[in-house]
Amino acid sequence: MWINGVSGSGKSALAAVLAGRGLPAIDADEDPALAGWVDEDGRPVAESQTDADWLRQHLWVWHPERLDELIGAPGSADAGTVYVCGNAANDAELWDRFARVVLLVVDEPTMLARLDDPARDNDFGRSPDERALCVEWLPSFQRERLALGAIPIDASQPLEQVADAVIRIATPGPGATSPHT
């Protein structure tokens, strides 16, 4: 299962809660081999400055081969549910690797409050340029993921409730088979 959302939606915090419950949860930000910046032509680049111009010319993408290593071969009968929490610009390319994609939906005030939280481990969204882009991206990001079929969860509710909702979505109903969620 892919748990997607904008910066500040709670993906990393949710990964920690799921892992704390003994579930196989991956915080995509914690695997340096999973993602990296690329230029407009898809060539890897080192992160230098993250002002608005640089961010508009570069994308944060996941490497499909590494994702496959983390979640097991797509469609594998013994893969089970792995909770991958993170975001990538190449999500359309990765979408079919998951039986379910959840979107952590937040409003702008919630997102901004979380981006400002000093306890948050991820610095993305703290600089004025990054913050402005997060605000700019929020409506279209959520609208586009919902159009692709993401299952929305209100991520402004308490984290334990968000985790419960994710687990309910990941648990197939009676008679259903879902080898790779």
Give yes or no for residue 74 having a pLDDT over 70: no
**26: helix, strand or coil:** strand
Least confident of 7-11, 12-16, 28-32, 114-118: 114-118
CA–CA gap between residue 2 and residue 104 (Å, rounded) = 10
Predicted pLDDT at 29: 87
Q: Over the stretch 26-36, which tens digit does the pLDDT of each residue have?
A: 999 889 899 88
Give yes or no for residue 168 having a pLDDT over 90: yes
Predicted pLDDT at 179: 36
Pick the CATH number of 2-155 from 3.90.550, 1.10.3470, 3.40.630, 3.40.50: 3.40.50
Confidence band (pLDDT; 50, 70, 90) for 11? very high
Least confident of 65-79, 115-129, 133-147: 65-79
Predicted pLDDT at 4: 94
Q: Over the stretch 135-160, which tens digit does the pLDDT of each residue have?
A: 988 999 999 999 999 999 999 999 99
CA–CA gap between residue 70 and residue 51 (Å, rounded) = 31
Domain ranges of the chain: 2-155
Is-contact 133 60, C-beta < 8 A? Answer: no
Nearest CA-CA partner of 11 in 38, 32, 30, 34: 30
Q: How far out from the chain centre does Cα 127 lie?
A: 20
Q: At what angle do helices 128-147 and 108-116 cross, to 10 degrees?
A: 140
Task: Render 33-95 in DSSP notation, one character per residue.
Answer: TTEEEE-TTS-EE-----SHHHHHH-EEEE-HHHHHHHH-STT-TT-B--EEE---TTHHHHG
Give yes or no for residue 90 having a pLDDT over 60: yes
Nearest CA-CA partner of 165 in 175, 174, 155, 173: 155
